[in-house]
Amino acid sequence: MAALDEPYDYYPQEWISPYIDRRRKVGWDLYSLLGIEKGDKARMHAQHGRNYRFFGAPVGLMFTIDRHMGRGSLIDYGMFLQNIMIAARGRGLDTCPQAAFNAFHQVIAEQLDIPDQQMFVCGMSLGYADTSRVENSLVTNRVAVEEFTTFHQR
């Protein structure tokens, strides 16, 4: 079996504040909605494992990019992904982009015959959100615009 490594650094090598704090908050907010308590590793793993069943969605998408392209193309690719997500909403569909697949990019490449020249970017679930499921009611925080913007005036 292929080693579990990442196709590219999606996350920083080392998490620092404030990003780690925000990441933890989203995680604990989700687990608290689901009634999963700290230390309940079995339920945490089970929830994480739902990624690999596309959360029950009927369509799973896998995205790759030509390795020839530069890092900047990942910016373009993010816009491409967002366009797919917005287009899906426009058609009454819902998505969940998934970096959870990245650690398994070698297995995915083998199973889907993805050429070596293509780098795995991420996966995505596509379907209709089940609004009766509590995890779909998660609302994440947004920092105020003033907190991350510097306005310059003449």
Ligand X SMILES: Cc1cc2nc3c(=O)[nH]c(=O)nc-3n(C[C@H](O)[C@H](O)[C@H](O)COP(=O)(O)O)c2cc1C
Q: What residues line the site for ligand X (CB under 6 A)?
A: 26, 51, 96-100, 122, 138, 140
Q: Which is nearer to ligand X, 51 or 151 (CB)?
A: 51
Q: Which is nearer to ligand X, 33 or 114 (CB)?
A: 33
Minimal distance, residue 127 CB to ligand X, in Å: 14
When CB distances to ligand X are compared, the closest residue is 100
Minimal distance, residue 3 CB to ligand X, in Å: 20
Minimal distance, residue 152 CB to ligand X, in Å: 28
Q: Which is nearer to ligand X, 97 or 127 (CB)?
A: 97
Q: What is the 3-state secondary structure (H, E, C) of the chain?
A: CCCCCCCCCCCCCCCCCCHHHHHHHHHHHHHHHHCCCCCCHHHHHHHHHHHHHHHHCCEEEEEEEECCCCCHHHHHHHHHHHHHHHHHHHCCCEEEEEHHHHHHHHHHHHHHCCCCCEEEEEEEEEECCCCCCHHHHCCCCCCCHHHHCCCCCC
Minimal distance, residue 53 CB to ligand X, in Å: 12
Q: Which is nearer to ligand X, 116 or 130 (CB)?
A: 130
